[in-house]
Amino acid sequence: MRLLFLVLLLANALLFVWGQSHWGGEAAGREPERLSRQLAPEKLRIVSKDGKAEAAPPQKACRRIEWLAKPEAEAMLSAIESLAGWEGRLVPRAEEPAHWVLIGHLADRAAAEKKRNELRQLGVTENEIVEDAAQGPFVVSLGVFRSQTLAEEHLQALAKKGVRSARLGKRELPPFRFAVELTAPAQELPAKLPELIRDSTHLVIGECLAS
């Protein structure tokens, strides 16, 4: 009896040790084992209810293409908008106002023609009559310059010929060049952008301007 008791006691001890997974590694289904069996957890993807993985939205990139004539810009914009996931917008290039040498605030065309005749008598033949709401209604234009220095030099030359009523003003110039800002998937842009500009070597490509 005593031997049988000792055998049963030893069997119970062995069962206890086995149940606590002290032999043969950790028990199946325990949290430490599940964690150790995870492979590349950073690659886990969220799936929708139908079991399909939800793709992350593609990264976008923006480029600005400058020095386009208006027909070029419109054609490029049309090509951009035909590509899936591509967007474009036309941007007129801001032109700085020019420096204008003029005789302004003439009441009508007759007064402007009279002023032109006076200029011819002084030997000033390069001029034209312009309708201008800000400086007019009629103006005799004597020259438009990008440089203020050149405009002032021209004004001084006219004064030496006896032209006393001329002065400097500003003249807004219409934009003659345009830029196109395009937004596209970043992976597609390097391959497709050269195709858009292959026929134009004068263009300047840069980052989009902050809005």
Which sequence spans correspond to the domains of the chain? 60-94+175-207, 98-171
Which ranges of 127-210 would DSSP assign to H, the alpha helix? 148-160, 189-196
Is pTM beyond 0.75 here? Answer: no
Neighbouring CB atoms inside 10 A of 126's CB total 9
* 26-40, 60-74, 175-189: the lowest-pLDDT one: 26-40
Which band of pLDDT confidence, cut at 50, 70 and 90, is reported for residue 26?
very low
DSSP for 83-148 reads STT-EEEEEEPPPPPEEEEEEEEESSHHHHHHHHHHHHHTT----EEEE-TTT-SEEEEEEEES-H
What CATH topology corresponds to 60-94+175-207? Answer: Alpha-Beta Plaits (3.30.70)
Amino acid 22: pLDDT? 47
CATH 3.30.70 fits 98-171, yes or no: yes
Q: Do domains 60-94+175-207 and 98-171 have the same CATH topology?
A: yes
Q: What is the mean pLDDT of residues 80-99?
A: 86
